[in-house]
C-alpha cells in the first residue's frame, strides 16, 4: 500500500512509519492524518507487529506540526473536525497494542510534539529542536498537547512551553523529561531499532497489558487502578508465554520465541 505523505515499512516484527512531506518539513495535513489512521489499523490486524517506530524522513524534520496553508483556510466547524480527527489518531497511537517509539530528528514542533508525546518512548537526535509555537499563531496545541504535556513534564514547565512558544534543544528536552534519551543524529535509527528489537523480544501480551495498566490506571483513582492492575496481572497466568518463561527460568535456559498467547 502506497501513501502520499507517509512511508511505511516492516522490519521483522517492527513497523516503521516516516512522515514524508519534505517540502513542508514533514508537516501534517488532513490527508496524512487519514493515511496514518489506515496504517495503524493495518498494523493492529498484523499479529507480527511487536513494536513501532515513528520518525521523519530525512534529517531536517521529524514533523514541523500542522500544514499552515491548510489550517489558515479553516473555519470554526472545519477546525473542530480537524482537531477531533487528529485527536482520535493520537489516542489510537497511545492505546495501540504495541509500544510506539518516537525517533525525533530535526524539527519537532507543534503537532510534531503532540505526536511524540502520544508515543510510549521518545529518543531524540542531538540536533533535534522541540517546541509548541502555536501561540504565535493565536492558537494552542489542540491534539492533546495541553493535557499530555503537563502529565509528562509537569504543569509549570508545560505552561512555560505553551505560553511562550519557545523552542528547546534535545538536551534541554532531556533535562525537562520531554524525551527519554539523546543520541548522535547519525545513530538515531540504530538506537531506536535496538530498543524496538529489545521490546519486540518480550512477551507481547504482557507488554500490551502493561500499556493498558499504565494508561487506564492514570485515568482513575488509585484503588481502581490497583484492582485493574491485579486483574491484568492474574490474567497473564493463563498465557502460554508466561508458562514458557517460567519453564525457561527453572530450566536455566533462554525462553523460546514468545507467541502472543
| Residue 39, helix vs strand vs coil | helix
Q: Which residues contact 111 (CB under 8 A, 6 or more apart)?
A: 27, 28, 63, 65, 66, 86, 141, 143
Q: How many helices (H) and strands (E) does the chain have?
A: 11, 10
Q: Which of 2, 70, 114, 191 is catalytic?
A: 114
199 near 51, Cβ under 8 Å? yes
Half-sphere exposure of residue 88: CA atoms within 13 angstroms, side-chain side? 12
260: left (phi over 0), alpha (psi -120 to 50) or beta: left
Active site residue 71: no
User: Using CA atoms, how far apart are residues 219 and 110, in angstroms rounded to an integer?
Assistant: 25
The residue with cell 480537524 is: 82
Q: Which of 44, 134, 175, 186 is catalytic?
A: 134
Active site residue 134: yes
CA-closest candidate to residue 129, choices 185, 85, 186, 72 = 185
With b for 16 or more beta-carbon neighbours within 10 A and e for fewer, the 156-169 pattern comes to ebbeebbeebebbe
Catalytic residues: 114, 134
Amino acid at each position: 500500500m502506497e501513501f502520499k505523505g507517509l512511508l511505511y515499512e516492516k522490519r521483522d516484527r517492527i513497523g516503521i512509519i516516516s512522515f514524508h512531506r519534505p517540502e513542508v518539513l514533514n508537516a501534517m495535513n488532513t490527508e496524512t492524518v487519514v493515511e496514518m489512521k489506515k496504517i495503524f489499523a493495518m498494523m493492529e490486524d498484523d499479529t507480527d507487529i511487536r513494536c513501532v517506530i515513528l520518525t521523519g524522513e530525512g534529517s531536517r524534520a521529524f514533523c514541523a506540526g500542522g500544514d499552515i496553508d491548510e489550517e489558515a483556510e479553516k473555519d470554526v466547524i472545519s477546525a473542530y473536525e480537524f482537531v477531533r480527527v487528529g485527536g482520535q489518531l493520537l489516542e489510537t497511537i497511545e492505546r495501540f497494542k504495541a509500544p510506539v517509539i518516537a525517533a525525533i530528528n530535526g524539527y519537532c514542533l507543534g503537532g510534531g510534539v503532540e505526536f511524540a508525546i502520544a508515543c510510549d518512548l521518545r529518543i531524540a537526535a542531538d540536533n533535534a529542536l522541540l517546541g509548541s509555537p502555536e501561540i504565535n499563531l493565536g492558537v494552542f496545541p489542540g491534539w492533546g498537547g495541553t493535557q499530555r504535556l503537563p502529565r509528562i513534564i509537569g504543569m509549570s514547565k508545560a505552561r512555560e512551553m505553551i505560553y511562550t512558544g519557545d523552542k528547546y534543544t534535545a538536551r534541554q528536552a532531556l533535562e525537562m523529561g520531554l524525551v527519554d534519551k539523546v543520541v548522535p543524529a547519525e545513530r538515531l535509527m540504530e538506537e531506536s531499532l535496538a530498543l524496538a528489537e529489545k521490546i519486540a523480544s518480550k512477551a507481547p501480551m504482557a507488554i500490551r497489558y502493561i500499556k493498558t495498566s499504565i494508561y487506564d490506571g492514570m485515568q482513575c483513582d488509585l484503588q481502581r487502578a490497583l484492582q485493574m492492575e491485579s486483574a491484568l496481572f492474574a490474567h497473564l497466568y493463563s498465557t502460554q508465554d508466561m508458562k514458557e518463561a517460567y519453564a525457561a527460568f527453572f530450566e536455566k535456559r533462554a525462553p523460546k520465541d514468545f507467541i502472543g498467547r
